A and B are shown apart, each in its own frame.
Chain A
Amino acid sequence: MVEAVSLVDVVKRYRRGKESVEVLHGLNLVIAEGEFVAIMGPSGSGKSTLLNLIGGIDRADSGSVTVSGQRLDQMSEAQLTRWRAGHIGFVFQFYNLMPALTAAANIELPLLLLPLSSAQRRARVAAALEVVGLSDRARHKPAELSGGQQQRVAIARALVSDPPILVCDEPTGDLDRQSATEVLELLNFLSERQGKTIVMVTHDQKAADMATRQLHVDKGKLIDKEYVA
């Protein structure tokens, strides 16, 4: 098994006023390449913190965080930023698309950081739109798309620079059941057919059931592991 993610004895604390609150208590976790992992747990359990550490947008106070073979805990902020651009695709609950840009322009955003010609960027955007089934919505702005379509644009944006890992924070939390199912099927497809490692935080058991493994976090610890498939 090739490890995509490895967390060893990870401790994370936050300051709340004068108080320091430990959110993760010596957490250990390994995720293999190509896995589709769902992280569940009650609010405040630390699941989003865990996702942020894997995505490299937050730092552990102690312990090691290794993602795609890189020790994130040893990187500077600038190194982390560059690393995220090449290794992680992010999908958010509320899509977080730029409202003034078209779907295609939103998807193109990560590509602007790469040394690609305009034609190369257009080709990659077209391919990403095709994967998510929205080729005919390229010129639409987010307000002209349904919630499910917006989330699929967000997934295309996460995919377009071909990162090995997708980090999804409640990707179906703002969607109706049918749209949620479409998005989950898309994530499943990306995991199974394109070998993407997907780490998804969700409150939705039906969403978690689509994953190959479910992790439960409570009070800053993983409390059990269950292989679904």
Chain B
Amino acid sequence: MKYFPLVWAGLTRKKLRTLFTFLSVIVAFLLFGLLQGVNAAFSQGVEGAHLDRLVVQGKVSMTDQLPLAFGTRIASVPGVSGVTYGTWFGGYYQDPKNNIFSFPVDVASYFDLFPEIRLPVEQRAALAKTRTGAVIGRRLAEKYGWKIGDNIPIKSTIWTNRDGTSDWNFQVVGIFASPDDPSLEQRLFFNNDYFDEARSFEKGLVGWYSVRIDNPAHATAIAQAIDQLFTNSDHETKTVTEKEFTQSFLKQIGDINFIVSSIIGAVFFALLFLTGNTMMQSVHERVTEFAVLKTIGYSDRAVLAIVIAEGLMLALAAALLGLAGSSAAFPLLESVVGVPHLPISVLGLGLFYALVLALVTTLLPGLRVARLNLVDALAGR
């Protein structure tokens, strides 16, 4: 701590230059926090995928619907211990921007296959009994202030009702939690029976089947066995692990990881040069001052440490502010990414990058002053 004034003096020697560099680092880490946060939130879904679950989808496209009758045949495959299904509803509330991740499901089997969705037994029973009933995640309920007993109008971007409109009405009969995967708490589930009866087209079809298997080690063999059942049929299937399914689903939006990595890479590359240049200039201007420090007894390591400390203070303080900004802004993205907080791993990664940035940009100028020839430096040569 006793060296703090010395380090601070170095940073504040050219206040405007330091301020601009500081702001650049803040903006870079703000961007990093938001982009990497979105990436990490999506990846959570992939990483959180269960190894004992497979997804059966249309072979040509994941948007191809599959016959409801496939369920019984899939259940007969050895190693399969449970089957359920769901369909992408494409729901929104009042405005298309208010996306609602909503799915018609088979109430009898769906929640058995997805134990991470914690729905009280009586609410599940209420859903089974109530034709237009729906259960919603805790975060979704909090977001719109919905509670059990409320009637909620949801529009679909895909499915029209028998009356020709895309308006669907549901009665909230349950609110579930999902502490292991909070993104699920943004979802809405309702009866497939009601959906199938009320929709105006593609009756008797479902979006995909979710299959529980008794041994994840047999996943490939079971997937092949399922697909073999429907070879040469009108609805050939492609069975993949839940992880692969989530990844391919995300790729429908775009290769988020690649896009995010490219942007962050470009930003940090530019930042490296900017900060490196600032540190080089700053140290170059103070060569005589460092020579004086060494003359009065500061060791090579001490002056190197001072330069590195300057870089660390600049990069870490700015990174913390940038990450704090992205953390504050992250709840605004909740409806898109389904996660309300910036993942802690992103904060850790950000601080690690700030550390690397500081070390990379200060090591060269720091070593230069550590190896100064005192006679030449004091003479201004």
Question: A57-B378, A112-B6 are known contacts. Are A86 and B292 too (CB-CB below 8 A)?
Answer: no
Q: Does B69 contact A (CB under 8 A)?
A: no
B109: which A residues are within 8 A, CB to CB?
Answer: none
| Contact pick for B13, options A57, A78, A90, A100, CB 8 Å | A100
Interface-side segment among B27-35, B98-106, B179-187, B293-301:
B293-301
Q: Does B340 contact A (CB under 8 A)?
A: no
Interface-side segment among A91-99, A125-133, A182-190, A207-215:
A91-99
* A interface footprint on B324-358 (CB within 8 Å = 1, 0 otherwise): 00000000000000000000000000000000000
* A interface footprint on B278-317 (CB within 8 Å = 1, 0 otherwise): 0000000000110011111111101000000000000000
Name which residue of chain A comes closest to B9, CB basis: A100
B5: which A residues are within 8 A, CB to CB?
Answer: 101, 105
Work out how many contacts link A and B, with CB atoms closer than 8 A: 65
Q: Does A62 contact B (CB under 8 A)?
A: no
A113: which B residues are within 8 A, CB to CB?
Answer: 297-298, 302
| Contact pick for A57, options B10, B12, B299, B375, CB 8 Å | B375
A55: which B residues are within 8 A, CB to CB?
Answer: 295
A13: which B residues are within 8 A, CB to CB?
Answer: none
**Are the CB atoms of B9 and A82 closer together than 8 Å?**
no
CA distance A100 to B302 in the complex (A): 19
**Are the CB atoms of B299 and A81 closer together than 8 Å?**
yes
Q: Does A152 contact B (CB under 8 A)?
A: no
**Are the CB atoms of A84 and B9 closer together than 8 Å?**
no
Residues of A within 8 Å of B, CB-based: how many?
27
Q: Does B144 contact A (CB under 8 A)?
A: no
Point out which of A99, A109, A110, A121 has the most chain B C-beta atoms below 10 A from its C-beta.
A109
**Are the CB atoms of A81 and B288 closer together than 8 Å?**
no
Smallest beta-carbon distance B139→chain A, Å: 50
B258: which A residues are within 8 A, CB to CB?
Answer: none
**Are the CB atoms of B292 and A112 closer together than 8 Å?**
no
**Are the CB atoms of A84 and B293 closer together than 8 Å?**
no
| Contact pick for A96, options B3, B10, B288, CB 8 Å | B288
Residues of B within 8 Å of A, CB-based: how many?
24
- Main SS of the interface on chain A? helix
Name which residue of chain B comes closest to A118, CB basis: B2
| Contact pick for B296, options A58, A90, A100, A105, CB 8 Å | A90
CA distance A48 to B10 in the complex (A): 29
CA distance A157 to B289 in the complex (A): 14
CA distance A23 to B149 in the complex (A): 98
A157: which B residues are within 8 A, CB to CB?
Answer: 296
**Are the CB atoms of A92 and B298 closer together than 8 Å?**
no
Q: Does A32 contact B (CB under 8 A)?
A: no
Residues of B at the A interface (CB closer than 8 Å) are 2-3, 5-6, 9-10, 12-13, 288-289, 292-300, 302, 374-375, 378-379
Q: 7 smallest A-B Cβ distances: which pairs?
A: A85-B297, A100-B9, A57-B374, A96-B292, A100-B13, A110-B296, A101-B9
Q: List 29 A-B contacts (CB under 8 A).
A: A48-B379, A52-B374, A57-B378, A58-B374, A58-B375, A78-B299, A81-B294, A84-B296, A85-B297, A85-B298, A90-B292, A98-B6, A98-B292, A99-B13, A100-B9, A100-B10, A100-B12, A100-B13, A101-B5, A101-B6, A101-B9, A105-B5, A109-B6, A109-B296, A110-B296, A110-B297, A112-B3, A112-B6, A157-B296
Residues of A at the B interface (CB closer than 8 Å) are 48, 52, 55, 57-58, 77-78, 81-82, 84-86, 90, 92, 96, 98-101, 105, 109-110, 112-113, 118, 121, 157
